Amino acid sequence: MGQARRPGGRLHRLWRIWPTLLGTSWATGVVGNDPPTPWPTPTGSVMSEHLRTRVETDVAPDAVLDAAASCYLHFGVAKTTAADIARAVGISRATLYRRFGSHEAIFLAVLTRESRAMAADAEVHLALVKDPLERILEGMMFSIEEIGRRPVHAAVFGGDSAAWAATHAIRVEALRRIGEAGVRPLLETSISGGAVSEQDMTDLVDWIIRILISYSAVPGPGGRRPDEVRRQLAAWFLPPFKDLFGQHEATRYETLNS
């Protein structure tokens, strides 16, 4: 029997240098006589994906709300999509849904944040107004004017988005709590005395929100001048409060309505 032939030619030479071409051994990570080397860290697209995931995880809720508000001003509320908001934030739409919910949930969060800021400004504006009836009237006038003046509120309740926004806003529990926080202290005596029930309070806040949205959704020439709005509110909005506030407030109401 002759001696077995060794693999020869180019195949043999390729086999001998294969570990060097790979840079690391499949089994040990050793190249030749060098000590073991660590496996390579993620590079290229793998590292980019890793960094993008970290960035998406670090996005703050306020950044999403800011981006949504910016989209509302640029595209309009009804035409803004979740993809628009995600693109403005710099995250994927899947991450937006997973961490912050649907577009409707983000819209309601934006509206709640803006409304809380407006309610805080209203408290400052009404700080020196002590008469309950006057406070209600001035609070309504302030809110109607501010909704038209503030960019996000104007985008929400004005133009083509008004119907869509009003349909969703009317069901926002946070807005009802804001409204109730402003009205309940004025009716505390009537509530404790049984003249106003909790259901009455719920209906009253709902009515107030609907009135505010109604006035705010018809701006410009199609609406009313501030003095006309004030006259209408004094004549038709304040009367239900007349009997709830007692004789002093009733006398004050007559002065406001004259």
Same domain, 83 and 170: no
Residues 122-135 as b or e (16 or more Cβ within 10 Å = b): beeebeeeebbbbb
> Is residue 250 pLDDT above 90, yes or no?
no
Instruction: Give yes or no: residues 172 and 65 share one domain.
Output: no
- Measured CA to CA, the distance from residue 199 to residue 40 in angstroms comes to 67
**Residue for token pair 């995600």:** 86
For residues 120 and 95, membership in a common domain is answered with: no
pLDDT of amino acid 30: 42
Task: Indicate whether 27 belongs to any domain.
Answer: no
- Domains of the chain: total: 2
* Domain identity same for 234 and 192: yes
8 Å CB contact between 174 and 112: yes
The residue from 101, 123, 139 where one domain ends is: 101
Residue 125 lies in a domain: yes
Instruction: Look at residue 11 and tell me whether its pLDDT is greater than 90.
Output: no
Alpha helix positions (H), the chain: 9-22, 45-57, 61-75, 82-89, 93-100, 103-125, 132-149, 151-157, 162-169, 173-183, 188-192, 198-216, 226-232, 239-242, 246-257
Tokens of residue 232, six digits: 């209408």
152/92 same-domain check: no
Which pLDDT belongs to residue 64? Answer: 96
> Is residue 65 located within the same domain as residue 165?
no
Compute and round to an integer the Cα radius of gyration of the chain: 33
Question: What whole-number distance in Å separates Cα of residue 124 and Cα of residue 142?
Answer: 11
The answer for residues whose C-beta is within 8 angstroms of residue 252's C-beta and 6 or more apart is: 131, 133, 134
Closest CA to 113 of 141, 145, 72: 72
Q: pLDDT per residue over 158-177, tens digit each?
A: 767 778 788 888 878 888 88
Give the CATH number for residue 190: 1.10.357
Per residue in 30-65, pLDDT (tens digit) is 444 444 434 344 444 433 443 344 445 578 999 999
| Domain boundary, last residue among 78, 101, 124 | 101
What percentage of the chain reaches a pLDDT higher than 90? 35
Supply 20's token pair. 């060097």
Within this chain, do residues 111 and 221 fall inside the same structural domain, yes or no?
yes
Please check whether residues 91 and 185 belong to one and the same domain: no
Taking the C-alpha atoms of residue 121 and residue 117, their distance in angstroms, rounded to an integer, is 6
> Do 70 and 113 reside in the same domain of the chain?
no
In a domain, 9, yes or no: no
- Of 252, 235, 217, the closest CA to residue 227 belongs to 235
The length of the chain is 258
Are residue 96 and residue 110 in the same domain, yes or no?
Answer: no
The neighbour count for residue 229, using CB atoms within 10 Å, is: 17
**Residue 249: what pLDDT?**
47
pLDDT of residue 39: 35
Query: Range of 58's domain?
Result: 47-101
> Would you state the pLDDT for residue 18?
40
Q: Are residues 134 and 251 in the same domain?
A: yes
As a whole number, mean pLDDT of residues 133-150 equals: 91
CB neighbours (10 Å) of residue 19? 15
The pLDDT assigned to 219 comes to 58
pTM exceeds 0.85, yes or no: no
Q: What is the CATH number of the domain that holds 52?
A: 1.10.10
pLDDT at 223: 67
Judge whether 42 lies within some domain. Answer: no
For residue 103, pLDDT beyond 80: yes
Whether residue 89 is contained in a domain is answered as yes
Whether 198 is in a domain gets the answer yes
Helices 162-169, 198-216: crossing angle, 10 deg rounding: 170
Task: Quick: pLDDT tens for 208-233.
Answer: 988 888 887 765 545 688 899 999 99
Contacts of the segment 188-196: beta carbons below 8 A, 24+ positions apart: 189/246, 190/244, 190/245, 195/243, 195/244, 196/244
Task: Please indicate, yes or no, whether residues 109 and 96 belong to a single structural domain of this protein.
Answer: no
